[in-house]
Amino acid sequence: MHCYVDAASVYGDMADERAMARTICCLLLIFGSMGLGRAQQGDARENRILVLERLWNEAQVNRDASSLNALVGDRFVNTEWDGEVTDKAQFLAGIKDPRYKAISLNIQDVKVNFYGDTAVVTGVYHNKGISDGKPYEHSGRFTDTWVAQGGGWQCVASHTSLIKK
């Protein structure tokens, strides 16, 4: 019994396998890069939010209400460490109040979690300054909620609470 195998069919099968392997490799690269693109896009969004948080701190120390005005949404709600709740206008007025002067404001252990077009930022803050002529120093936790709208991000809610010593 002779077994005859056509060389064209062997090479054709090998060529088909190589073509299929190339296709699979290309698909893996495409889908892998799409995932990487999403990861890089996520990193870019996270970096943007972190920059905005730091700009917020600088604006508070520099009493720059106009910069803060651009960072917070029109229906912004702020809950302070002492339980006081303010809207955007009250918050900005507090930044301009000459009786209050932040000297330093630092954040650490910052985490950003995304939920669609919303970012919830949590972390620890340390704030030093002068209020009504008296020095103060606060350490606490904060939660800021940012929403993507109109091509940018705005903070719509902020909450701080003191860490007990």
DSSP state of 164: P
pTM of the model: 0.73
* Inside any domain, residue 156: yes
Residue 28 has a pLDDT of: 37
CA distances 100 to 26, 78, 86, 94, Å, are 60, 17, 16, 7
Residue 36 sits in a domain of what CATH number?
Answer: 3.10.450.50
pLDDT at 6 over 50: no
Q: Domain range holding 145?
A: 7-162
* Inside any domain, residue 46: yes
Q: Are strands 152-162 and 72-79 parallel, antiparallel or unpaired?
A: parallel
* Inside any domain, residue 79: yes
* Inside any domain, residue 2: no
* Inside any domain, residue 110: yes
Alpha-carbon span 155 to 50, nearest angstrom: 12
pLDDT at 36 over 70: no
CA distances 85 to 31, 77, 99, 128, 137, Å, are 47, 7, 19, 21, 20
Number of domains making up the chain: 1
For 131, phi then psi, to 5°, come to -130, 125
Tens of pLDDT, residue by residue over 88-143, are: 999 999 999 999 899 999 999 999 999 999 999 999 999 999 999 999 999 999 99
* Inside any domain, residue 65: yes
* Inside any domain, residue 158: yes
